Amino acid sequence: MSLAQPPGRFRETAQRALADDHVERALDDATARLYGNRLEAWAGLEDAQALRERGREIRVRTVAALDSHLEAFQRALEARGGRVHRCADAAAARAKITEICTAAGAKLVAKSKSMATEEIGLNEALHGAGMEVVETDLGEWILQLSGEHPVHIVAPAIEKTAADVAELFSKLEGREVSTELSELTGVARRRMRKVFETADVGITGANFAVAETGSICLVENEGNARLVTSLPRVHVVLLGMERVVPTLADLSVLLRLLARSATGQKLSSYTTLITGPRRPGEQDGPEELHVIVLDNGRSNLRGTRYEEMLSCIRCGACLNVCPVYRKTGGSAYGPVYSGPMGAVLVPLLVGLEQAPALPHASSLCGACTDACPVKIPLHELLLDLRSDLVEGGIASRGERLGFTLWSYAWSSPLGYRLSTALARLGLPLAALGGPGRVWAKGRAFPRLSRRYRDRR
């Protein structure tokens, strides 16, 4: 799957969402609920700002010495019988996972929610190798059934209402399924149980990897990840290379931040630490545990102004507070990462020229930066990316010329006087073309009377 987002795609997709009242309402309700939950959870903390600062410090320090932490993680995991595979890009990661699944003789693969697997387009690759893949996270499964992509990194099916899901499940079951949540989850549970029992390989992402113990940490509310990681014979983890933390003590800080920021919980219903495959004498767990460490553009950020973006713990708080995401939904940003974190991360992973509209998919209101539990200055990074668009010659020639001419005209009081006198005469003409025409479609121009400096 390509993360690239060609110019024009954002606006086009956003317009479709804006025209859909149903999606608008679903997004509005869901983001407002998550926003409210988060504020409440944070209000219950004694010193929220100090915790955020600790979280930031842990992430920045870890990312700065990523190589040594990854090596420590690998040593610890291998000492407990797990295997680590480093993959430079999506193709390498797909190939490695397909190879592991093929070697395991897999016919059925059970997955729990993982944006990294979306990033590398894993499902398509496994299908191509003749395997059946089933998403076991309820939201992801709903989207798999409807043939859509996740539109939120934490709540993948956030744009769907209970009624939408009931309709989908009714078709699947060939009977009327009501919108009762217990009935909806009942359908999923019955169908999922068989998948857990018969899957040959379980694939998960990883919220964190702990270097000192070689553990993988998974955070979830449905319990599906526990089954995916304990019943199949082989467990494959796709780990974004930046998601390592040095110690269990560090992990505890980040877990407190993650659940509060994502859903407003103190801790998610299930927080699982997996340290190696099943050992002799143990009742359950996989025979093999493989961890794929994925780069796929992440190294581009290291040592740059944008390294802080690697601090992201994928809580989704920036999506839930974003006034733009709230209106566009996730698909406008592309098929995987959305909202402010997506607008920053995607251009950095794939190159600015591949996603030139994303740094501008924001009103720079700064709500994302305020919400980020590890204090990533998201809107500042968007500003810097905009500057890179200009410096790199990716911004359109017309835009660059416009700002340059304007800046020369306004570089002196005389130039300002002359150019604004002209503008006053020409304002009615502005509605005929360019940005003026866009503005005038839906908004009145301000009336320009006498300048304050002239009447004072």
Partner 1 sequence: MATVQLFATCLGDLAFPDAVADAEALLREAGFEVEFPGAQVCCGQPAFNAGHRAAARRVGRTFARAFSRTAPVVMPSGSCTAMVAHRLPELLGVEPWEVYELSAFLAAAGFEPRRLNEGRTVAYHDSCHMLRDLRISDEPRRLLEVSGATIAPLPRQDLCCGFGGTFSVRQPELSLAMADDKLAGAAGAEALVTADPGCITHLRGRSERTGGPRVVHLATVLARGLG
| Chain residues in the site for partner 1 (CB under 8 A) | 10-11, 14-15, 18, 32, 321, 323-324, 326-328, 357, 359-367, 369-370, 383, 385-390, 395, 399-400, 403-404, 406-408, 410-413, 416, 420, 423, 435, 438-439, 441-453, 455-456
The CB-of-143 to partner 1 minimum distance in angstroms stands at: 24
Provide the token pair at 448: 């320009």
Choice between 403 and 426, CB closer to partner 1: 403
Paired sense of beta strands 215-220 and 270-274, if any: antiparallel
Cβ at position 392, least distance to partner 1 in Å: 10
- Which one, of 317, 192, 211, 205, lies nearest residue 272 by Cα? 205
- Please, which residue, 175 or 455, has the CB nearer to partner 1? 455
Distance, in Å, from the CA atom of 52 to the CA atom of 25, rounded to the nearest integer, reads 32
Report the interhelical angle of 378-391 vs 339-350 (nearest 10°): 40
Residue closer to partner 1 by CB (options 79, 445) is: 445
Least Cα distance to 126 among 145, 157, 104, 143 occurs for 104
Nearer to partner 1, 14 or 274 (CB): 14
Which CB sits closer to partner 1, 82 or 339? Answer: 339
CB of residue 400 to partner 1, shortest distance in Å: 7
Residue with token string 């539990």: 373
Q: How far is the CB of 338 from partner 1 (least distance, A)?
A: 14
Query: What would the two tokens of residue 282 be?
Result: 């143990």
* Residue 162 Cβ vs partner 1, minimum distance, rounded to whole Å: 23
Altogether, the residues listed in the chain come to a count of 456
Shortest Å, Cβ 360 to partner 1: 5
Which residues neighbour 274 within 8 Å (Cβ) at sequence distance 6 or greater?
Answer: 215, 216, 217, 218, 229, 235, 237, 285, 289
Considering the complex, what minimum distance in angstroms separates the CB of residue 166 from partner 1?
28
Report how far residue 135's alpha carbon sits from residue 63's, in angstroms, rounded to the nearest whole number.
Answer: 30
Helix axes 162-173, 138-146, angle to 10 degrees: 60
Q: Which is nearer to partner 1, 178 or 387 (CB)?
A: 387
Q: Tell me the closest approach of the beta carbon of residue 15 to partner 1, in angstroms.
A: 5
Q: Which of 366, 344, 330 is nearest to 297 (CA)?
A: 344
Which residue lies nearer to partner 1 by CB, 180 or 399? Answer: 399
Binning the chain into helix, strand and coil, the percentages to the nearest 5 are 55, 10, 35
The residue among 24 and 183 lying less far from partner 1, judged by its C-beta, is 24
Phi and psi torsions of 84, nearest 5°:
-120, 135
Q: Where do we find the tokens 């994302």?
A: 368
Residue in 363, 353, 357 with CA at minimum distance from that of residue 325: 363
SS3 133: strand
Q: Which two tokens stand for residue 443?
A: 């908004």
* Minimum separation from the CB atom of position 426 to partner 1 (A): 13
Supply the minimum distance, in Å, between the C-beta of residue 57 and partner 1: 22
Closest CB to partner 1 among 8 and 105? 8
Residue 44 Cβ vs partner 1, minimum distance, rounded to whole Å: 19
Which position has the token pair 């630490």? 273
127 versus 439: smaller Cβ distance to partner 1: 439
What lies within 8 Å, CB to CB, of 339 at 6+ separation is 152, 153, 316, 318, 319, 322, 324, 325, 330, 333, 368
Element (DSSP H or E) covering residue 350: helix 339-350
Please provide residue 107's backbone torsions phi and psi, each rounded to the nearest 5 degrees: -105, -40
CA atoms within a 13 Å half-sphere pointing along the CA-CB vector of 32: 7
Which H helix or E strand runs over 379? helix 378-391
